[in-house]
Structure 1
Amino acid sequence: MEYAIVIEKANETWSAHAPDLPGCIATGETIEEVKNNMRTAIEWHIEALRESGEDVPEPTVQVAVVAIPAPKAA
């Protein structure tokens, strides 16, 4: 399975979450570290869902980038 993650700059570190898996979050010093930490967090999150008898959500989030014109200077 492939889950979309959202990565955001948080002061001097990075944070990430998986919209399809509420509560599944991770942080890291670099983008690469936060990606690796999210991979582990997703695996643990899914394992915890299964152990508690809950359904594992299917990935449904779609990610896209939308280009807009640069704002004009005032």
Structure 2
Amino acid sequence: MMFRYEVILCWSELDKAFVAEVPELPGCAADGETYQEALHNVELVMQEWIETAKDLGRSVPQPKRRLIYI
């Protein structure tokens, strides 16, 4: 499944892990020992988040597009 949601990925000194979160999907976050692992884990959580929302009859937000000016 291809996701088009914004992912914020950063190092957490407190957790000693990379943390990835998806602001458009409330509560959707994951961590990992590496940048790649955190990104992989959050992709799994996004899929679960969307499937659960659909199963519960809740709406799934459309991904927003961000404009970047250089």
Asked if Structure 1 and Structure 2 have the same fold, meaning a TM-score greater than 0.5 normalized by the shorter chain, the answer is yes
Ranges in structure 1 where 5+ consecutive residues have no aligned partner = 67-74
Q: Please, which moves more after superposition, 56-65 or 5-14?
A: 56-65
User: Identity rate of aligned residues, in percent?
Assistant: 29
Q: Distance in 2 between matches of 1:63 and 1:17?
A: 19
Number of aligned residue pairs: 66
Matched, 1:46 2:56: no
How far does residue 16 in structure 1 lie from its aligned partner after superposition?
1.0
Report if the CA contact (8 A) 1:26-1:41 is conserved. Answer: yes
Q: Normalized against structure 1, the TM-score is what?
A: 0.79
Q: Which runs of 5+ in 2 are unaligned?
A: none
CA RMSD of aligned residues (A): 1.8
CA gap 1:63/1:43 in 2 versus in 1, 3 angstroms: farther
